[in-house]
Amino acid sequence: MPGLVELAYTTGGGVVGAALTNYFTKVQERRQLRAEVYRRLEATRAISGGVLEIRVGLPPNTLTGRKSVANALGIVAVLEDGTDAHRALREALSELLTAVLVAGIPRRVADFAAGAHERVLESAVAATVDRRLGGIPDANSEQLTQAAQTYRAETTRLLLAVLWHPWRARLRTRSRIRKLRVAVHALHLQQEAAVAALTRPEQAEALHQRLDPDGTLRETWIEDRLP
């Protein structure tokens, strides 16, 4: 009796053979798509949790609205190779979102996963600022970092569940997203409290004195703003 491969080349097995070929192609494509999602996840994880240091950057953003620690203080978070962490994360998230959407993962699941990496990066920057300042009690940077990492783990688990078992995961996706909304709201409040504690005028001044003792970069800010 011919095997599956041989069947594809028999006279009577043309239709069956075409179906099998199509099936094997789809399986292979699905494996490749899943592998690509894993690669992009690992690359994004390495960036969001890979802040090595901070340095003086653009002038502080004093506009109202949601601000990151970096924008509020006028600093840049850098990775081990000296790359701007926020810029690197934006590029990595763009590639991750492309991979997960091509793999058939719903956009809302992808958005939660991407947002979690942004939260982890923000908590890493806050923790680095806190460390530079010698530890600000009401910043609670350790608790913030742990909460952000826990949230990222939960969003990643949901994404992978949908990636591997989309039909099974669909039954629980809504309830899991409701829980994630509660978790991210609490995390957001923690982040706002940390930003408020770390960006007080006296904290910002102390940080810049440590990062830029001679004030050279701050003088450059002022010159850039002059007409």
Q: Which residue has the higher pLDDT, 178 or 19?
A: 178
Answer whether residue 5 is part of any domain: no
> Is 217 contained in some domain?
no
Is residue 64 in some structural domain? yes
Q: What is the mean pLDDT of residues 209-224?
A: 59
AA identity, residue 71: N
Query: Does a structural domain hold residue 212?
Result: no
Label residue 128 by pLDDT band (50, 70, 90): very high
d(CA 23, CA 38): 23
pLDDT band at 56 (very low <50, low <70, confident <90, very high): confident
| Angle (CA) 47 45 30, round 5° | 125
- What is the domain extent for residue 197? 36-206
Q: Which pLDDT belongs to residue 7?
A: 40
Locate all alpha helices (DSSP H) within 62-165, ordered by sequence.
69-73, 85-102, 107-132, 141-164
Instruction: Give CA–CA dist 1/8, Å, rounded.
Output: 13
Residue 102 pLDDT: 87
- Residues 100, 44 contacting (CB under 8 angstroms): no
Please check the confidence at residue 190 and state whether its pLDDT lies above 60: yes
Pick the more confident residue, 2 or 85: 85
Mean pLDDT score across all residues of the chain: 81
Q: Is residue 157 pLDDT above 90, yes or no?
A: yes
156 vs 203, more confident: 156
Any domain includes 30: no
The mean per-residue pLDDT over the stretch 129-141 comes to 90
Question: What mean pLDDT do residues 38-47 have?
Answer: 94
Read off the pLDDT of residues 64-115 as tens digits, 9 standing for 90 and up.
455 678 888 888 999 999 899 999 999 999 999 999 988 888 999 999 999 9
Query: Residue 190: which residues within 8 A CB-CB, separation 6 or more?
Result: 140, 143, 144, 147
- pLDDT band of residue 168 (cuts 50, 70, 90) is confident
Q: Does residue 218 form part of some domain? A: no
Q: Is residue 12 part of a domain?
A: no
Q: Could you identify the residue written with the tokens 């990492």?
A: 149
Confidence band for 204, pLDDT divided at 50, 70 and 90: confident
Q: What are phi and psi of 84, to 5 degrees?
A: -65, 120
Better pLDDT: 168 or 132: 132
| pLDDT-derived band at 62, boundaries 50, 70, 90 | low
Taking residues 217-222, report their average pLDDT.
48
Domain-embedded: residue 198: yes
Residue 221, pLDDT score: 45
DSSP string, 20-41: HHHHHHHHHHHHHHHHHHHHHH
| Number of independent structural domains in the chain | 1
- In this model, does residue 57 exceed pLDDT 50? yes
Give the list of residues 6+ apart from residue 181 with CB closer than 8 angstroms, or none.
none
What integer pLDDT is reported at residue 211 of this predicted model? 83
